Chains A and B, each alone.
Chain A
Amino acid sequence: MFSVLVIVSGLVDLLGSGDDTVPMVTLGVLAGLVSSIGYSRIRAAERVRDADVLGGLTLCLLLLVMMVSAAHLLIGTTGSVVDALTDSTAALTTTALGVLAPDVGDHAGRFLRAGSQWLGGFGGLMVAVAILPFFGAEREFADRSRLRGRRPMTPNRLTAMRNIVYLHGVVSVGTWIGYVLAGLGTFDALMVAMATVSTGGMVDGDPFADPAVQYVAIAGMAVTGTSLVVLWRLVVGRTRGLMRSAELRAYLGLLVLGTALLLLWTGGSGPDGIRRAAFTVTAAVTTTGFPSAPAGIWAAAAPVLLLGLVSIGPMTGSAGGGFQIMRHRALLKVALREMVRQLHPRVVSRVRLGGRVVSEATLSRIVVVQFLVVSVVFATATVVAAMGLDMAAALGVAIHAISTGGPVRALDGSLLDPTDWSAPVRLAILPAMVIGRLSVYPAMVAASSTISAVRHRVRLRRRILSYRGRAG
């Protein structure tokens, strides 16, 4: 994947000066060779555990971050290792907290950045739709039923992956065409389209000054925040009962209600005000994070509303981050069940979502995800606060990082520039971005496996030393 991205970025540079073509193609070929050799030499274990797959995913993302950073350093987009790491992590985790600003003529750098976002969004979809449901987490949410001749989207892993490629490709191309028709240049439209469909949100300059582009962006983000299962059902014609989906209704309701509240709390009015509010709210709900400067005087509740929307996130099974609506619904039902249990302690009560009973194991995992998310937010906020950010910014940064959203706003609604933050602050938010993009579990499983392995090694070493001590 990386080698393809780098080679294409190198070739794209031929549209401009072409200075970066040779190093990028060389790097891509080398990376491709190394990975081919590794793939052919290293055999997969006979028995693969869930933890191995989840740990592998995390390792994969971390390696990608390193290599994209190396590519940025190689072509001179930046000379700072921290900036390269921050930007490549932000791009691959689709968190709109990038710090680089490639020149308009730097086609390789711009394409590498946008391509990283697209790859990150695609990876996020793969994790959410084709990997996690097959490895013990949230199995119920996969679209597998073949009842009454249905064509499910994810009957098995391979078909799921194929369908994701198909759908993500169609949405990407559609958005690209939309931007071109709205008046953006072909290359610029491609860059913005990749940032839109991946929910990456990192764009160069201000492409959204034109209302037509903003309308396309609103539509593109709204589609990207929709579950792929919903899009699949639209494609295969299973539209009957689609609007009965509580999650879809909640998602659309969130967009409409959020827009109305933002209008109310920012004093906006008229078609322009509605468009601007819809753009800001859609960028928040889908965790895309396209920047939009505040118009008018923002009430205290307006930035809090956007922060809340970012943490809620879009539909489960979309490229967006956040806690996602399905999980929130599950939590709400757990809360209601807990109240019923207080009154009837012996009652047997099942939680249903989308007409299906959700297993206790899945509910328990969702609750744990919430616990872990809150813990990561607290830890990240504390660390960045200790490094000099004020409390509002620290909380905002932590929530945006784990939700893979952006941009962070001050209490008056103005945008905070990540380039103003110190290098340690930027480095401190990277783990939260990675954890958020991987839907929490893979990164946490990898971390706990690593900690366990280190602990076992230390214990073993201690035992060996004590045995030697006794023997000697």
Chain B
Amino acid sequence: MTDPSTDVEAGGWNRMVSARGGIRSTTAHVTGLALLFISLGMLLSAVVEYVDGTNGAALLMAATATAVSGAALWWSTRPGALDHATIFTAVGTTWLVASAFGALPYLFAGTFAVAGRPWAVVLADALFESISGYSCTGSTVFGGHNPIGSQGSGVLLYRQLTQWAGGMGIVVLVVTVLPSLRASGLGLIDAEAPGMGVDRLAPRVKDTATRFWKLYTGLTALIAVGLLAAGMGPFDAIAHALTTASTGGFSTRDASIGHWDSLSVELVLVVAMVLGAANFTLHWRSLASRRIVHFRDHEFRGYLTILGVGTLLVAGMLAIDGMGVGRALRMGVFNVVTLGTSSGFGNATGAGSGGDFVRWTAGPQMILLFLMVFGGCAGSTAGGVKVVRLRVGMSHAYRTLRGFRRPRALFPVRQGARTVPEAIVERIAGFMVVYGMLVVVGTVAVTALGTDLVTAVGGVIGALGNMGPALGDVGPADSFVDGFSTPARMVLAVLMLVGRLEIFPMLLMLVAPYRSLRGAGRSNRP
């Protein structure tokens, strides 16, 4: 990292124009390239729409607008040096702009332009769906009034592709083709990736990013094959593979996975979701060493334990409530895994069916809420607080209590044989404090906008953890239009982005522009 005082972005507008004429701005450069990438997704969807025999003009228009804007940004700028503020600004801005452009296909296709709806609501819904896609949340505004099934295959594929792009990260994708960032690219990946940091898979940052994407693509292909073998059609298999590897949860059907009502499809998805929510570094090491190394990792073992115990508790309670042991186990496994991995698929075949967890008694729902908070492992595509943070938080609490018994003893926080540095412990503690505050503030804001407590808590925790469905009025088969007002949905959309980027980039993204303005003000002084 460079000294912030030498950073061109911190130095004011007059220093931003480089000697070669291009404007030096890492933020604009990265954003431009990201737009080019997402325009490819739109283009692919337009092709699918044409092949399918429907009119793909809307998608083509959106792809063109996005590509032109991206190219303009990319060509007119050059990456500058990176300090921490610039990293957060670059990542935060990229996600905001990508989400905004991601809404274009829905707007051009008139997806949410139902008769009688004001344009502001249509715009808000398109933005919500786009942000929910890119942040891999999986909450949707499609529903009974505007069913998913009535959409063309291009729009459906585009919707799935947004989650796939967001799963591994748009910025990680950018870093794979942006050699000029060199080592600073790791900061960008770090700011975007879920967890407490990025393990390098290769000495070069670009190679690390490339390997992550290769792994991700391979996993997606594997899942698609599995779903095909389980009985899904090719389009649905590919579409669901895209949103399973990314632990996103969008489906091409209104009833989500409940549409198939197939045990084999659910089993394939359960395994795939668990893999998607595990640390990708473990997958890489397993492939590289040709041995399964997952079970040596404490976080992964803890994660499986949480899922296992959660499943047993939920299935047990459902069985006690009279569901029948086999069915309770099936519903328990699928819903615990889908929410514990922050995927958010549903296996309800209809409102009030076995998989409709908002109709369950409150006990199993509380366990699902707990799982929604913690999500998957660090270094995965999953959202939530992450298991490693839970483990470190618990160890830290335990050692504090032990400190009362032995006031002079020093108890390190350990993860397996490794001692966790105090700086990391403090960072995790700080993260959890900010996370908790966001949940409280978000809940108050959403209830103030007319939502009841349970739906609001479920919605906020679901949005911040990128889960998908909420609780209360918005279950696995429900639309967010039914449970939240338009302003409340916008609050949730902001929380989705904040949660996807692990809070800080979105909160700190305005720091660098503020510095720029301040620097410009200073440089104009006589």
Please report A residues at the B interface, Cβ cutoff 8 Å: 49-51, 54, 135-136, 265, 299-301, 303-305, 307-308, 331-332, 334-335, 337-339, 341-345, 364-365, 367-368, 370-372, 374-375, 378, 381-382, 385-392, 394-395, 411, 441, 444-445, 448-449, 452
Report the minimum CB–CB distance from B424 to chain A (whole Å): 11
Q: Are B504 and A339 in contact (CB under 8 A)?
A: yes
Q: Considering the complex of A and B, which 10 residue pairs feature the smallest CB-CB distances, nearest first?
A: A338-B430, A386-B363, A385-B362, A51-B405, A382-B366, A304-B447, A301-B447, A301-B448, A448-B401, A51-B404
Please report B residues at the A interface, Cβ cutoff 8 Å: 84-85, 88, 317, 361-363, 365-367, 369-370, 393, 396-398, 400-405, 407, 426-427, 429-434, 436-437, 440, 443-444, 447-448, 450-454, 456-457, 471-472, 504, 507-508, 511
Q: Do A367 and B429 contact each other (CB < 8 Å), given the known contacts A342-B88, A345-B84? A: yes
Q: Do A395 and B433 contact each other (CB < 8 Å), given the known contacts A50-B407, A372-B397? A: no
Q: Are A341 and B427 in contact (CB under 8 A)?
A: yes
Q: Which residue of A lies closest to B396 (CB)?
A: A368
Q: Are A343 and B432 in contact (CB under 8 A)?
A: no
Give every chain A residue within 8 A of B361 (Cβ-Cβ). Answer: 385-386, 388
In Å, the complex CA distance between A50 and B406 comes to 8
In Å, the complex CA distance between A136 and B404 comes to 8
Q: A54-B404, A334-B433 known; 6 other A-B pairs, CB under 8 Å?
A: A304-B444, A342-B84, A386-B361, A386-B366, A392-B453, A411-B454
Q: Are B404 and A50 in contact (CB under 8 A)?
A: yes
In Å, the complex CA distance between A301 and B488 comes to 13
Q: Do A374 and B436 contact each other (CB < 8 Å), given the known contacts A337-B430, A368-B400, A390-B362? A: yes
Q: Which of B369, B397, B457, B511 contacts A343 (CB 8 A)?
A: B511
Q: Are B405 and A445 in contact (CB under 8 A)?
A: yes
Q: Which residue of A lies closest to B505 (CB)?
A: A342
Q: Are B437 and A335 in contact (CB under 8 A)?
A: yes
Q: Do A305 and B405 contact each other (CB < 8 Å), given the known contacts A374-B436, A382-B363, A382-B366? A: no
In Å, the complex CA distance between A308 and B267 comes to 41
In Å, the complex CA distance between A371 and B362 comes to 23
Q: Are B444 and A339 in contact (CB under 8 A)?
A: no
Q: Are B504 and A392 in contact (CB under 8 A)?
A: no
In Å, the complex CA distance between A332 and B434 comes to 8
Give every chain B residue within 8 A of A386 (Cβ-Cβ). Answer: 317, 361-363, 366
Q: Are B448 and A365 in contact (CB under 8 A)?
A: no
Q: DSSP class of B's interface residues: helix, strand, loop or mixed?
A: helix
In Å, the complex CA distance between A365 and B400 comes to 7
Give every chain A residue within 8 A of B432 (Cβ-Cβ). Answer: 367, 370-371
Q: Are B440 and A395 in contact (CB under 8 A)?
A: no
Q: Are A391 and B433 in contact (CB under 8 A)?
A: no
In Å, the complex CA distance between A452 and B398 comes to 11
Pull 24 A–B residue pairs with CB atoms less than 8 Å apart, ordered by A. Answer: A49-B405, A50-B405, A54-B404, A299-B450, A300-B451, A300-B453, A301-B447, A301-B450, A335-B433, A339-B504, A342-B84, A343-B511, A364-B396, A381-B366, A382-B367, A385-B365, A386-B362, A388-B362, A391-B365, A394-B362, A394-B366, A395-B457, A441-B404, A448-B398
Q: Which residue of B lies closest to A345 (CB)?
A: B84
Report the minimum CB–CB distance from A449 to chain B (whole Å): 6
Q: Are A338 and B370 in contact (CB under 8 A)?
A: no
Report the minimum CB–CB distance from B280 to chain A (whole Å): 23
Q: Which of A136, A304, A339, A390 contacts B507 (CB 8 A)?
A: A339
In Å, the complex CA distance between A152 and B504 comes to 41
Q: Which of B367, B434, B440 contacts A308 (CB 8 A)?
A: B440
Give every chain A residue within 8 A of B440 (Cβ-Cβ). Answer: 308
Report the minimum CB–CB distance from A362 to chain B (whole Å): 11
Q: Are B436 and A370 in contact (CB under 8 A)?
A: yes
Give every chain B residue within 8 A of A370 (Cβ-Cβ). Answer: 432-433, 436
Q: Do A445 and B401 contact each other (CB < 8 Å), given the known contacts A368-B396, A378-B366, A385-B362? A: yes
In Å, the complex CA distance between A300 and B84 comes to 41
Report the minimum CB–CB distance from A454 to chain B (whole Å): 14
Q: Are A364 and B405 in contact (CB under 8 A)?
A: no
The listed residue with most A CB atoms (<10 A of its CB), out of B397, B400, B404, B453, is B404
Report the minimum CB–CB distance from A202 to chain B (whole Å): 25
Q: Are B363 and A343 in contact (CB under 8 A)?
A: no
Give every chain B residue within 8 A of A344 (Cβ-Cβ). Answer: 84
Give every chain B residue within 8 A of A307 (Cβ-Cβ). Answer: 453
Report the minimum CB–CB distance from A247 to chain B (whole Å): 18
Q: Are A378 and B431 in contact (CB under 8 A)?
A: no
Q: Which residue of B lies closest to A409 (CB)?
A: B453
Report the minimum CB–CB distance from B472 to chain A (whole Å): 8
Q: Which of B396, B400, B430 contacts A341 (CB 8 A)?
A: B430
Q: Which residue of B lies closest to A328 (CB)?
A: B437
Q: Which of A265, A334, A335, A389 contacts B362 (CB 8 A)?
A: A389
Q: Which residue of A lies closest to B191 (CB)?
A: A342
Q: Are B437 and A391 in contact (CB under 8 A)?
A: no
In Å, the complex CA distance between A136 and B408 comes to 11
Q: Which residue of A lies closest to B471 (CB)?
A: A391
Q: Are A338 and B402 in contact (CB under 8 A)?
A: no
Q: Which residue of B lies closest to A378 (CB)?
A: B370
Q: Are A445 and B430 in contact (CB under 8 A)?
A: no
In Å, the complex CA distance between A448 and B136 comes to 40
